[in-house]
Structure 1
Amino acid sequence: MGLLRDLPKLRNYVRKRESSWDRTGGNNDRILIAPQERRIIADIDGPGCITHIWMTMDCKEEHFLRKVILRIWWDNEREPSVEVPVGDFFGMGHSLTRNFASLPLAMCPQDGKGFNSFFPMPFFERARVEIHSECAREKLVLYYYIDYELYPHSEDLGDVGLFHAQWRRENPCHGIVHPPETYHEPGFRGYNLTGEENYVILEAQGRGHYVGCILNIENLGAPTAWNWYGEGDDMIFVDGEKWPPSLHGTGTEDYFNCAWCPTQEFIGPYNGILLPGGKNWSGKITLYRFHIEDPVYFQKSIKVTIEHGHANDRSDDYSSVAYWYQTEPHLSFPPLLSVEERLPRGKH
């Protein structure tokens, strides 16, 4: 059944919310988070499911959307299952915002500063949500809703994986200079017969399914030459399979369901281009692809990768957020980069 078909179904659940409402009854419906402060904004006993997160925030410090970290823990685990700079988590990298609406994520007016997640996030025993400001000097002003439902029994959850999200960056990717004898078409150099040098979006172990990603690229090529950042094939390795993987794509824009070196913005429920880059594909690019109708299932492990240019011949700045569900325990995340290493390049 679809979501609308399910609306008449009666449920023995309880709807709850954690929010920043003014407990005095006034209109100061926000909290202030000091520089370097970590604040738990929700600590919920299960069984239940977070169904919606809304946030908006402001800080007088530049690039604060890369300095503020969203972390979420499920069921008393020691390591978070979500650890992502807050702007990136809600769909837009480069410490920018954009008005857009996909099925699971949206940034809404004014100027994309109303952040929304509709990813269902089930938990059996406990959910903890933290905002960590790594701003150096200025306070963070935060407004938020965390909407959730509680269930009478853990069996009401069924056989579910727990939600995970992870941020990565390679700045820049290590481009490969291919020798002339590997030319096989004008403008296409070299061969990739291993996938070993691909940019890694996700590497996970356990049982679950990958449900999509955000990919941000800062084009570092020479702007006066042919400066197309793409031609990078997606390669998704499931349960330890060797190259070539069962899921092998044909190019960067193809994985994001677009075509022919796109230069236009596009916003769809499952895929989109929030930033297409400037003239000759220069500057900042943001793309998204959600596997809502076509999750990538894994029983033991998954490695989601994409070439940075054909046969990894480009040295651009890549960052990404991967979204997936899996059983616990999960593979430890790579250490989160320092604030300085997370900041976007140049000016906007």
Structure 2
Amino acid sequence: MYRLWFTGFDPDTANLKIYIDGALFARTYLLAKLFTGAYSELPSPLAGEESAGFYCYVPIPFRSSIRITTNGAAAKPLQLFYYNVGYHRYTRGRNIVSWPESNAAVAAAVGVWNKAELGENPNSGDPTTVRISGSVRLPGMGIPISLQEIEGPRIVYGIRINVDADVSVVNDILLRITWDREPDAAVHAPLSAFFALGHYGANSARSLVVGAIDDWLYTYFPMPFAHHANIELINRRPMPLESVKYEILHKAFNEDFSRVGYFRTAYFRHLAGPGLSMTLLDIEGAGQLVGVAMSFEGSGPHDMEANAPSLLFLEGDERIYVDDCRTPTIYGTGTEDFFNAGWYFTKVPFSKPVHGCTTKNTDKGYGVVSAYRLFLHDAVPFRKHLRATIEHGPANDVPVLARTVAYYYYQPVIRALPWGRLEIGDPGSESQYGYWNSSQHWSGSRTYTFEGDLDKIQISHGGRAHRGTSRFAFPTPADNQGFLLRRMFDQGIRNQRARVRVNGQDLGSWSRTGGNTADNDAGRGKWCEDDLPIPASFTSGKTYLHFDVAYEPSDATLSDPALDWNEFSYSLYDLHETGPAHPSLMSPRLPILCAIDVVSRNLDKLDLVCPDEGGTLVPVAWEPIFGASWYVWRSIAGVSVLPGCPVSLVSRSTDKIDAFFN
């Protein structure tokens, strides 16, 4: 567990109890003291309070289970008590050491967080570092000026920029970084957004990895690259800037690039109208989301109680979807909660190592807010796809102008490949995967929506529920690194739990605490998808995975145990967590007038073979399960052709393709 956040609790009575690995006795904390550093195992500044938001970033590892309870005491009558809990879940067999009372790593983190107030580079001190500094003239009119081009493999781990001009200038100067001579920049954002200052003034951020101190903007995000880096500034104003100082730190990088991602950003300017959330990042591939910085301005209804323009747009919730799961992996309780504050940011500006609010203003007849949040030890990993959105208002009903930047690390590969999908209630699919169940409790069809951005799209699907065991099997590639099994189910039945066996081996319990029992005609939010990781120790070398999913009564501590275990579909994803991964999303570079042939070897499957500009034959494939992307597979070994050589394809069966070329 990486993050706890609370607001609205009664400081005199509210408490928190944490049960680790099924312990009968809990560690008990008074919430009013927990965030002051009064408990030695939860030290400040990893635990603290700012702007009515109470947060704790002390990692609390658990080996088998964790249960967190509270008396839920609110500070005022009719006031709600809000909480967020963030955690990572690992596959079985990982060497997890449960939460100790003292932890040297936590003590080291305290030291790093304390340095953030000084704007110090946490990676400094390496004697092999190359430090480049200088000053450039930015001519204006959008002409890019390169600060430095660096040959790799290297890692940039510090960039500092000093713009000796009015603070508003940083809205009009862009930072652009290109890796390995790719045609598109990996970083392309205004300085005010990239360095988390916000769009509206001089209040500076001072976080662990982005911010400003003593007129210097800084970023300490590690940025490895294999071949080439080009770091540029672009002045969009008509008038030149005569002197912009800079400093760049880089050093050798000798690690395996299949194990690291390239640093990138996604910058957007949103004019958000009714009905749709704002997209912070939507990317196909693998990587980790490590932060966002946002600036909003909106003109919601006037707040009569405060006699000020409303900040109602802050009622929007963040939603983060991972690997095409239609249920948000992260679903928040409000915009200021997402930034670890509370009640529309009661005290600003403030800047903390991983979160802050640099601006809040209602003096101009409308509300403006700038804030940032970093996910460092609580990074959001994705293997196939990530989509992060945020609402503007309670139901995307408050018009806003927003500028957002998302920081992330990225590999253009698919590390969770869709492998198969069992549709419960479909006789053909059930027969294909050998589905069977005992003690069936219900069968039929339901029409519901998912929670979050899909809560207005009704989906009808057949399914079954049982109090016995369901069985099914998927054919699998033997050279796998594990799998992910995803279940679609009706979460109107709360607290479902089952015991899972894979090829006869006990994988443990699969449980989903809570649910959505809202009684509404549309069944809004009752569909849910949940993932079960299956480690390679259960799957490596296997060409079939046989699943037994046995209903279990819910935890006795829950007030409403599950009636049954229901299932509407199971999807299997083939994982390749480490090493070179295929398919890739890097399109082959083809010569002009290159001939491409295409063949359909099966229903809804297309295959291309492209002779790239180096004379290598590259297979590219598409099918509906891949979504909007073409997947690039390993080049055909031992074959070399002239660039642009015509290639003809023929499919002689559903899984065989022959290529003919001269």
- 1:174 lines up with 2:258 in the alignment: no
Whole-Å separation in 2 of the counterparts to 1:234 and 1:286 = 16
Residue 136 of structure 1: how far off its partner (Å): 1.0
Contact 1:56–1:144 (CA<8 Å) still a contact in 2?
A: yes
Confirm whether residue 86 of structure 1 aligns to residue 188 of structure 2: no
Q: CA deviation at 1:154?
A: 4.9
- Counterpart in 2 of 1:39? 145
- The 3-state SS of whatever aligns with 2:171 is helix
Deviation of 1:175 (Å) = 2.7
Corresponding position: 1:132 with 2:229: no
Paired with 1:65 and 1:218, the residues of 2 have a C-alpha distance of 18
Verify the 8 A CA contact 2:264 2:409 in the aligned structure 1: yes
Aligned to 2:425: none
2:146 and 2:398 map into 1 onto residues whose CA distance is: 41
Q: Which of the residues 93, 114, 130 maps onto 1:16? A: 130
SS at match of 2:310: coil
* Matched position secondary structure for 2:224: strand
Q: How far apart, CA to CA, are the structure 2 residues paired with 1:202 and 1:331?
A: 17
User: Which residue of the partner structure matches residue 334 of structure 2?
Assistant: 251
Aligned residue for 1:88, secondary structure, equals helix
C-alpha spacing 1:138/1:128, structure 2 compared with 1 (3 Å): closer
Tell me, what secondary structure is at the counterpart of 2:198? Answer: coil
The equivalent of 2:262 in structure 1 is 162
Distance 1:280 1:64, change over 3 A: closer
Asked if 1 retains the 8 angstrom alpha-carbon contact of 2:131 and 2:248, the reply is yes
Aligned length: 291
CA distance in 2, matches of 1:99, 1:273: 9
- Summarize the alignment of residues 1-348 of structure 1 with structure 2, pairs less than 5 Å apart: 14-20=128-134, 30-36=135-141, 37-59=143-165, 63-94=168-199, 96-109=201-214, 113-151=215-253, 153-155=254-256, 159-171=259-271, 173-176=272-275, 197-223=276-302, 225=304, 227-228=310-311, 229-242=313-326, 244-265=327-348, 266-278=350-362, 282-328=366-412
Distance 2:389 2:205 in 1: 25
1:230 counterpart SS class = helix
Note the residue ranges of structure 2 that are not aligned, 5 or more in a row: 1-104, 113-121, 414-583, 587-662
Residue type of the alignment partner of 1:160: V
Q: Distance in 1 between matches of 2:145 and 2:200?
A: 21
Q: Secondary structure at the match of 2:314?
A: coil
Q: Which residue of 2 aligns with 1:340?
A: none
Q: Distance in 2 between matches of 1:133 and 1:240?
A: 38
Taking only the aligned residue pairs, the percentage that are identical comes to: 28
**Aligned amino acid, residue 19 of structure 1:** S
Q: Which residue of 2 aligns with 1:179?
A: none
- For residue 27 of structure 1, what is the aligned residue in structure 2? none
Question: 1:98 Cα shift?
Answer: 2.0
SS across alignment from 1:312? coil
Q: CA deviation at 1:293?
A: 1.6
Instruction: Kindly state the Cα deviation for residue 234 of structure 1 after the two structures are TM-superposed.
Output: 0.6
TM-score (norm 2): 0.41
Assess, with a 3 A threshold, how the Cα gap between structure 1 residues 82 and 219 changes in structure 2: closer, same or farther.
same
Checking the alignment, whether the CA contact within 8 Å between 1:31 and 1:143 is kept in structure 2 is yes
Moved more, 246-255 or 260-269: 260-269
Provide closer, same or farther for how the CA distance between residues 161 and 15 of structure 1 changes in structure 2, counting only shifts above 3 A.
same
Counterpart CA distance in 1 for 2:585 and 2:179 is 14
CA–CA distance in structure 2, aligned partners of residues 269 and 301 of structure 1: 28
Output the amino acid matched with 2:268.
Answer: R
Give yes or no for contact 1:204–1:331 (8 Å, CA) kept in 2. no
Question: Which residue is 1:26 aligned to?
Answer: none
Instruction: Tell me the CA shift for residue 15 of structure 1.
Output: 0.9
Q: Distance in 1 between matches of 2:181 and 2:410?
A: 16
Distance in structure 2 (CA, Å) of the matches to 1:168 and 1:31: 27
1:312 counterpart letter in structure 2:
N
Describe the shift of the 1:146–1:48 C-alpha distance in structure 2 as closer, same or farther (beyond 3 A). Answer: same
**How much has 1:224 moved relative to structure 2?**
5.5
CA contact (8 A) 2:193 2:403 kept: no
